Structure 1
Amino acid sequence: MSRLTTAQARHALASAQKSGAGVPAYLRWVNRPLGGQVAVIAAAWGWSPNGVTALSATFGALGVGVLAGVTAWWAGPVAAVLLLLGYILDSADGQLARIQRRGGPAGEWLDHVVDGIRAPLVHIAIAIHLLRTDAALWLVLMAALFSALVSAWFLSQLLAEKLLPKQPRDASDASAGILTSFVKQPHDTSTTYLALVFLGLPLVFAVLYTALFAWHVLMFSGSLRRKYVQLAAL
């Protein structure tokens, strides 16, 4: 595909941008806008969406590698930066596909595969880091359980989207959309990445990580019940 000018790319993105209603706060107001800027640059440079996805996966792999392989205090902050950069690129690939009108099942599938691998690997890497730094065994086990939980939630959401009828979005109540964005924020992967900044402070990280795990357990339990009731009613 021929390269677009920056102005053309911005115009194409503005006319094909997704609604942010109900999306977690960081994703809505930080990650998507930054991903859009990257997508515009990528379009001007002639990059492909799959190439951006591959770059996102590379940053994610580097972040996971730092977490699992480095025990120094700076491992958490560096891993957080790498994972957040990967997250920006994860948002950019879809926006680039819309700019270039190259979206399709293959690209969406690849994007979901990368997400499905990266999410549990982050918690497995956290478990390895905690084990190597002589953290409490219960915290290590919780990180391992966290990896299974995020995988199960990811699969549950994908299957529900496939099996349940499409529901139109109601964007009439902007304030409710804003509230929902903040309520959903702990579920966004950026919250886990930002918590890694405190990995070198064991007590602070343990409190934050435990609270995040407890929130996921409660919300996932409610989500499972809600989806089962919806599916059973079909």
Structure 2
Amino acid sequence: MSTSDSTASYGDIVRRLAGAQKVSLPGSPPYSIYVNRKAGRLIAAWAYRAGLTPNAVTAISAVLTFAGILSIALIPPAAWSGLLVWLLLALGYAFDSADGQVARLRGGGSPAGEWLDHVVDCAKLSSLHIAVAIAMFRWFALPPAWLLLPLLYAIVAAVTFFGMILNDLLRDARGGQRTREPGRRALAHTILILPTDYGILCLVFLLLGWPMLFTIAYGLFFIANLGALAFALPRWFAQMKQLGKEVR
């Protein structure tokens, strides 16, 4: 697809995007693949027809996402504020999926665009949990030790994101292939990684109006993400060692 397709109808562009969608590896995060990618497709078709560049879509994603993050830290927790936070984070995530799809419609992305996308993602993942720490300090009647929960979560999120990005970078640089899980293992993997899916984490903020429920759910997500990272790190390291042997 290229800029010459800009006169195509909205429905035609959506269908073209669906046909040109990236192949999902078995065991991929379900919300990100089956909900967010489809939402991003609808946004990408609109953005393309509106003449927006991929970087402009990334900027919209950042504005929505960081508005949601600031809302966590600045607005007293209530049912309506939790709904607002979820809506802003979910829309920001959908626009995050749309920028790459707009790039494909315009004939391909650029290193600068990919760099910008990853930097925004990195800032988002770290600041989200710092905002939770601020909210807990300001609004939650919890012992101070509980503030370690979101701070540790920020570390886990940053290491996980960096590890995944570095895995892809090293594989691409050395001509390696991404591993595919067999059918049953892929299904089990999909279920196990549900709490690591950013889109599922966004849903937890619907509980902000009930601080104790939110803290319990958020804590369970942290434990699940910590466990997933502890499982993934030695596996990733083994894959990198194997990659090193293959390219010799």
TM-score, normalised to structure 1's length? Answer: 0.91
**Matching residue of 1:59:** 64
**Matching residue of 1:133:** 139
**Equivalent position to 2:177, from 139, 160, 167:** 167
Letter matched to residue 206 of structure 2: V
Letter matched to residue 230 of structure 2: S
The CA deviation at 1:176 is: 5.4
What is the rounded CA distance, in whole Å, between the counterparts of 1:112 and 1:82 in structure 2? 19
**Matching residue of 1:69:** 74
**Matching residue of 1:33:** 38
Alpha-carbon RMSD: 2.0
Pairing 1:96-135 to 2, within 5 Å after superposition:
96-135=102-141
**Matching residue of 2:204:** 195
CA deviation vs aligned residue, 1:186-223 (integer Å, no higher than 9, x gap):
11111221101101212211211111111111111111
What is the rounded CA distance, in whole Å, between the counterparts of 1:109 and 1:202 in structure 2? 36
Q: Using the aligned pairs only, state the percent identity.
A: 33
1:227 aligns with 2:227: no
What is the rounded CA distance, in whole Å, between the counterparts of 1:207 and 1:89 in structure 2? 29
SS in 2 for 1:162: helix
CA deviation vs aligned residue, 1:18-76 (integer Å, no higher than 9, x gap):
12333211111111001101111111111111110000000011001111111141332
1:17 aligns with 2:30: no
Could you tell which deviates more after superposition, 205-214 or 158-167? 158-167
Contact 1:16–1:99 (Cα < 8 Å) also in 2: no
What is the rounded CA distance, in whole Å, between the counterparts of 1:130 and 1:119 in structure 2? 17
Contact 1:4–1:46 (Cα < 8 Å) also in 2: no
Could you tell which deviates more after superposition, 162-171 or 107-116? 162-171
The CA deviation at 1:101 is: 1.3
Contact 1:62–1:82 (Cα < 8 Å) also in 2: yes
SS in 2 for 1:167: coil
Regions of 4+ moved over 6 Å: none
What is the rounded CA distance, in whole Å, between the counterparts of 2:23 and 2:194 in structure 1? 17
What is the rounded CA distance, in whole Å, between the counterparts of 1:170 and 1:35 in structure 2? 25
The CA deviation at 1:171 is: 8.6
SS in 1 for 2:141: coil
What is the rounded CA distance, in whole Å, between the counterparts of 2:181 and 2:20 in structure 1? 17
What count of residue pairs does the alignment treat as equivalent? 233
The CA deviation at 1:169 is: 5.7
What is the rounded CA distance, in whole Å, between the counterparts of 1:171 and 1:36 in structure 2? 26
Unaligned 5+ runs, structure 1: none
Could you tell which deviates more after superposition, 132-141 or 52-61? 132-141
What is the rounded CA distance, in whole Å, between the counterparts of 2:181 and 2:198 in structure 1? 24
The CA deviation at 1:138 is: 3.0
What is the rounded CA distance, in whole Å, between the counterparts of 1:92 and 1:99 in structure 2? 11
Unaligned 5+ runs, structure 2: none
